[in-house]
Structure 1
């Protein structure tokens, strides 16, 4: 818990900086760069140099705009924790910045580092040195988990894993080996100490060391994230988290059963393969240094899977839709998930999500960055054969296009139906709107249609 009075009393230091106004954009971003490149720290906005609380005024979107501006002005992007506390009836904004795993962090092509109470600009040679150190090849999940001991490992879960990987991948790990020997063969110890991956995979209480390593699941009423119907938070090891999160989703989506001849066929309204892959993706690719949790949001019309943090810097949303090499943020966790077939093949997860949705007759999933997090969205609506038979060939082409691209314009409608006029396209699209199959969004040059 933040002790604001104590922080103000102690004054500025290597980990604390005061600013009297949110309008001091450049000094704030400079401090964020400096803290990110050192040991982290906090910026208290609304406190002047004399430790006096002057407060700041907050509008409806002030904090959201601040977070977006910090992200936009830092490279690699920084996602600090921003909170507001009251002191003497004044608002004090606290921007908590963690040491960044990827260094150096730049602000407007310049990088800074915290030295005592000051933010010093890094020289070109210091930047090169920091880049070389950053490419040492040590990922967060491979680092030592300080204070974690052998007794913190759940022996039963470790033995289960050994038996499972022997069965799934034809390995020959000896289940009678000691904890130390087993973890060593799985590359989960370093210099005789447990790694972060070891604690997350097999810890009795991983949240004692990585508090934010949880999955939050929520079923909302309707189509907006306002009113909960049900919600649960799953702590514990990440193997069990995955299983419980999948079960939570299954508890809140529909299962249709049909009998064909003597065969019973169960069909979920969303493909389970896509759900499994999306949750696995969140666990393997999340940034465990961020204070937020993985979130799974269930609405009447869609599922949303929110990872923690964006894609790796060298990948874009468009890149991951194409064949690509696997770039897990936590490769050690990903390897152990592969051992027990939570991951089937390297670099195929996104394609499996896409294909399983299309095979189920659902629209192509949406992949995007929201508020700094990578989000996978599975939309539910399905166009039946009966509905398609009522449409003309042009409209059927448009539905196929919408399944793949999620949106279509009048111009795009004409491009897939060569030779038709603008008015014909408009009439076709209007008919689809009237049937409740698509909806018009936007106006003017930005007008487009989506499935509803």
Structure 2
């Protein structure tokens, strides 16, 4: 409620009215002294009513309000004037008075910050103002990774989310249907998902660190990946496999050894996908991050919670309010995202199924952070095997516990064939008696990287023109301890 002594404060009253409209609503009352709360009223003439109507007309968008004129007892001819203004609802256009937006902070009326106003305008007309919908600078269709696009189309067809005819249709037709093209040109959303040309997008990075202990004072491994959605997703998952414990057990339903990370793979992957999908990509000076400590894992992205969701309520059933609608739609159609609003539930279900603690969510004022608690011991026991993790950013190699195991026959084959020396992808494929490089990359090289069996010569530049690979210390130890098994009847390409 805002009290004004008379309509002599009409202009200031309209600032408060605008603030009510942009916040939680409220009453604006003229004719009451704010200090002593004494009801004074005032003489109301046709001129008074006209001035009030003209002042209200200065509010944009226009509002339809009812003005109440209430007689004041013991003051014949005087009336108090009361006007109620409804509050703002997410998705509505923010209000201004004579071109300036106002909002309430507790009981104080303030000019709305540009960032808040832009965010509300963006929510009101995302198809026009959203970063993902803007035409990309200096990027053409030829700069988009056709392999990634075709892969998404195939997954969408197999998942029943897009028609089979999309398999043979030109890719620009599909991109247009996914609203990733504007006037035939790729949008920022298309670049984020599929482009190999990202030189103008400094925010397309992911910082990854394994810290020693439970704070950021000292790190064991510090990396930075850059690229599109799929590059960052692959880099993040590879980092998890490199630094988290991997265990296995014989399950009753399959009678085979099943490998699993200490924190469920599906939970980490879902959290990382959500982080990349819903972050505020327009904040080009900020980057997402993965931080692994002895006791926890934190995935952070520059962003906010939608007004309808809080760090507490995100664990309850809720609707989906994607920050990047077009990106989310494309990822849903290609099955990287499941039904909207189910991400947090899927993460928690995966954790419960494996018997680990559910994660927590929080917002620190600039980043949304999901935290997974690491189960079990966080420090190596006396006499446990350790290995140095080389890192060009650190000043020394710090021993950390490691475990390596794999049930993948292609990965086992690659480990048995590879040596301690760095080798090109073609040399490794030749050792495995394979000629189809694409097949080798997909079925041998990529799984081996994800499982921590091999490492890159240039870890921070996965697509370096002189990239080479060699066995990790963990894979070499596993290779030396096991009895070599020659694969039988393994298909060759």
Q: TM-score, normalization: structure 2? A: 0.50
Q: CA deviation at 1:283?
A: 0.7
Q: Name which of 344, 369, 376 aligns with 2:370.
A: 376
Question: How many Å separate the matches in 1 of 2:119 and 2:322?
Answer: 22
Count of residues paired in the alignment? 268
DSSP 3-state at the match of 1:324: coil
Question: How many Å separate the matches in 1 of 2:133 and 2:282?
Answer: 13
DSSP 3-state at the match of 1:163: helix
Question: How many Å separate the matches in 2 of 1:352 and 1:113?
Answer: 36
The residue aligned with 2:262 is: 269
What per-residue deviation string (whole Å, max 9, x for no partner) do you get for residues 406-441 of structure 1? xxxxxxxxxxxxxxxxxxxxxxxxxxxxxxxxxxxx
Question: How many Å separate the matches in 1 of 2:291 and 2:332?
Answer: 26
Question: How many Å separate the matches in 2 of 1:298 and 1:133?
Answer: 34
Aligned in 2, Cα 1:112/1:325: closer, same or farther, shift over 3 Å?
A: closer
Question: Computing the radius of gyration over CA atoms, which structure comes out larger, 1 or 2?
Answer: 2
Question: How many Å separate the matches in 2 of 1:204 and 1:159?
Answer: 15
What per-residue deviation string (whole Å, max 9, x for no partner) do you get for residues 315-340 of structure 1? 32122121110111111111111122
Aligned in 2, Cα 1:294/1:222: closer, same or farther, shift over 3 Å?
A: same
What per-residue deviation string (whole Å, max 9, x for no partner) do you get for residues 43-91 of structure 1? xxxxxxxxxxxxxxxxxxxxxxxxxxxxxxxxxxxxxxxxxxxxxxxxx
Question: How many Å separate the matches in 1 of 2:119 and 2:172?
Answer: 34
Aligned in 2, Cα 1:283/1:134: closer, same or farther, shift over 3 Å?
A: closer
Question: How many Å separate the matches in 1 of 2:371 and 2:329?
Answer: 25
1:348 matched to 2:348? The reply is no
Question: How many Å separate the matches in 2 of 1:113 and 1:371?
Answer: 15
Q: Name which of 278, 281, 298 aligns with 1:285.
A: 278
Aligned in 2, Cα 1:105/1:309: closer, same or farther, shift over 3 Å?
A: farther
1:361 matched to 2:369? The reply is no
The residue aligned with 2:212 is: 221
Q: CA deviation at 1:163?
A: 2.3
1:203 matched to 2:195? The reply is yes
Contact 2:161 2:333 in 1 (8 A): no
The residue aligned with 2:330 is: 336
Contact 1:145 1:209 in 2 (8 A): no
Contact 1:150 1:179 in 2 (8 A): no
1:306 matched to 2:288? The reply is no
Question: How many Å separate the matches in 2 of 1:300 and 1:334?
Answer: 33
1:155-170 aligned at under 5 Å gives the runs 155-169=146-160
The gaps in structure 1 that reach 5 residues or longer are 1-101, 115-126, 384-452
DSSP 3-state at the match of 1:166: helix
DSSP 3-state at the match of 2:316: coil
What per-residue deviation string (whole Å, max 9, x for no partner) do you get for residues 348-404 of structure 1? 111122222222222221111124211100002359xxxxxxxxxxxxxxxxxxxxx
The gaps in structure 2 that reach 5 residues or longer are 1-92, 95-100, 378-493
The residue aligned with 1:254 is: 245
Contact 1:325 1:346 in 2 (8 A): yes
DSSP 3-state at the match of 2:312: helix
Q: CA deviation at 1:251?
A: 1.5
Contact 1:144 1:194 in 2 (8 A): yes
Question: How many Å separate the matches in 1 of 2:147 and 2:317?
Answer: 38
Contact 1:283 1:307 in 2 (8 A): yes
